[in-house]
Amino acid sequence: MKKINSNKIDEKIFSSGIVHFCGIGGIGMSAIAQVMHQNGIKVQGSDSSESYMVQNMRNLGIKIFPAQKESNLQGVSCLVYSSAINLDTNEEVLAAKKAKIPIIHRSIALGFVMQGYKSIAVSGSHGKTTTTSLLGLILDKCGIDPVIISGGIMNEYNSNYKIGKGKYIVVEADESDGSFVNFNADLSIITNIDREHMDHYKTMDKVEEVFKVLLDHSKTSVICSDDERLVRLSSGNNVIKYGFKNGADLQIIKESIVYENGYSFFDISCDNEKFTIKTKLFGLHNFLNICSAFLIAKNIGCKVEDIISAISLFSGVKRRFTQVGKVENTIVIDDYAHHPTEIKAVIQGAKDFMKISKRSGEIVVIFQPHRYSRMYDLMDDFAACFDGVDKIILNPIYSAGETNENGVKIDDLAKKIQKNNKNLDIRICALDNVKANLGIMNVTQNDIIIFMGAGDISKFAYSSCDVLF
């Protein structure tokens, strides 16, 4: 396999032929491919799954093969892959090796796209997609007209990317495999550091190492001062801090938080001034995300009043507490949460939503765990993260291609949750049997039903409104 130096990419690799994306339908791969296509680079790809993203790309004129085969590589100058691709068995990768076609990781292709722009990288264990999308909208509304590459479908653009004519690019820097070390950033946001993706990292020391590289590769970083690990790591780096604690460059005044007419309001103190933030989002985790975007926008010269106005317009990202339907007065929500920290945040957000909407019903969670390795590593954390839920249905663990090496079972999680919440109504069933179990559990009017997970549960959430009751 030909080695590619991410800091010295030969542009001829991208311009001398067709750039082929192996697994082009992925949320990160598709955004990069579409930005390249819109910038005049010849792009094609392969994906075995027919999806909304694949159809969108076909509508743009991007050729997509339904299977990954050696014959797809005719006229290809390089092959781009993500960490989801097995380099030892994938037919296209093996064919590219044989033909000595350069094989490039997605992060290096992203680094190429970032060249020539003032770059802003958004990373962290949680919250990076919302933060990327919000920051992109703020800069857009402030007249910056950035390029945006997000890890989710931004509601304002109905897309995971936006082409801009300005000098800035805002990118989500995926930490799942540590590949963001392959590019530099002028500015970065690190929202938090948590015990996540341990199937790749193995130890928290390794997790810290890659985030330290991002800090070192950024001219200025915006970090959450409430995250002690992040504060320790950033010692010696040029950082701007935000959080709830005293001493932050931007401090959220927790006592100021109120909910009125479908909005959250909270005050912040920044540069010896106080400002009131109005947002459609709710939950302390989202207030922190908002403040990180606020600081970056202010740092590059956006007017505070314009930043605050843009924040009030932001309606979020698909699969981030997305209301997908309403059956009479029962709300159905779809959310990507698949880590205990994220689940806690969503449940707290649901409680806040109940306050905002003055609902008196119960919170019902349908949770599909994602990856055996994550469930095994964080079993006790998962068992303790459902406080505040009234009823829960657990689905079988979504493997994401993993083998169950440790023999972890969904029954194990159910028993541990029950031990922590003796009166909680818990059921285990496949997605196809959710309707029947909801009926047995007496889900009623004013309840909020949250479909939660990173596997294929989202498809059922969207179709559920026709069959739930």
Distances (CA, A) of 267 to 291, 301, 346: 11, 21, 22
The CATH number given to whatever domain includes residue 180 is 3.40.1190.10
129 given a catalytic annotation? yes
128 and 268 within one domain = yes
Tell whether 94 is covered by a domain. yes
340 and 301 within one domain = no
Closest CA to 270 of 232, 233, 296: 296
97 and 129 within one domain = no
Distances (CA, A) of 401 to 84, 86, 177: 9, 10, 16
Tell whether 25 is covered by a domain. yes
Catalytic choice (42, 92, 129, 322): 129
27 and 121 within one domain = no
Closest CA to 163 of 301, 53, 36: 36
Three-state SS at 368: strand
121 and 218 within one domain = yes
Tell whether 3 is covered by a domain. no
Residue with tokens 């707290």: 348
* Per-residue confidence (pLDDT) for residue 15, from 0 to 100: 79
Catalytic choice (92, 156, 172, 196): 172
> Tell me: the pLDDT tens digits for 75-97?
999 999 998 898 999 999 999 99
**How many residues in the chain?**
469
Catalytic choice (42, 92, 128, 131): 128
Tell whether 6 is covered by a domain. no
* C-alpha–C-alpha distance, residues 4 and 15, integer Å: 16
Q: Which domain holds residue 365?
A: 322-466
Which of 82, 105, 128 represents a domain boundary (last residue)? Answer: 105
* C-alpha–C-alpha distance, residues 301 and 307, integer Å: 10
* C-alpha–C-alpha distance, residues 441 and 92, integer Å: 48
* C-alpha–C-alpha distance, residues 424 and 418, integer Å: 7
| Residue 75 assigned ligand-binding role | no
Tell whether 2 is covered by a domain. no
- Token code pair at residue 422: 């003796």
Mean pLDDT of the chain: 91
Q: Are strands 250-260 and 425-428 parallel, antiparallel or unpaired?
A: unpaired
337 and 462 within one domain = yes
Which of 76, 105, 134 represents a domain boundary (last residue)? Answer: 105
- Token code pair at residue 163: 């082409």
285 and 144 within one domain = yes
232 and 288 within one domain = yes
In degrees rounded to 5, what are phi and psi of residue 81? -130, 160
* Per-residue confidence (pLDDT) for residue 469, from 0 to 100: 54
85 within 8 A of 46, measured Cβ to Cβ: no
Query: How would DSSP label each residue in 313-353?
Result: H---BTTSSEEEEEETTEEEEEE---SHHHHHHHHHHHHHH
pLDDT > 70: percent of the chain:
97
| Residue 129 assigned ligand-binding role | yes
* Per-residue confidence (pLDDT) for residue 2, from 0 to 100: 36
* Per-residue confidence (pLDDT) for residue 6, from 0 to 100: 44
Which of 313, 342, 373 represents a domain boundary (last residue)? Answer: 313
128 given a catalytic annotation? yes
Tell whether 402 is covered by a domain. yes
| Residue 126 assigned ligand-binding role | yes
> Tell me: the pLDDT tens digits for 286-336?
999 999 999 999 999 999 999 999 999 999 999 888 888 877 788 899 999
| Residue 124 assigned ligand-binding role | yes
Tell whether 5 is covered by a domain. no
* Per-residue confidence (pLDDT) for residue 95, from 0 to 100: 96
309 and 173 within one domain = yes
Tell whether 79 is covered by a domain. yes
* Per-residue confidence (pLDDT) for residue 3, from 0 to 100: 34
| Residue 127 assigned ligand-binding role | yes
358 and 285 within one domain = no
The answer for residues whose C-beta is within 8 angstroms of residue 291's C-beta and 6 or more apart is 242, 243, 250, 252, 268
The CATH number given to whatever domain includes residue 86 is 3.40.50.720
The answer for residues whose C-beta is within 8 angstroms of residue 352's C-beta and 6 or more apart is 259, 264, 282, 283
Give the chain's residues under pLDDT 50: 1-7
Residue 379 forms beta bridges with which residues? none
Chain centre distance of CA 242: 20
Residue 81 forms beta bridges with which residues? 105
* Per-residue confidence (pLDDT) for residue 440, from 0 to 100: 76
The CATH number given to whatever domain includes residue 370 is 3.90.190.20
340 and 262 within one domain = no
Chain centre distance of CA 468: 28
* Structural domains counted in the chain: 3
268 and 150 within one domain = yes
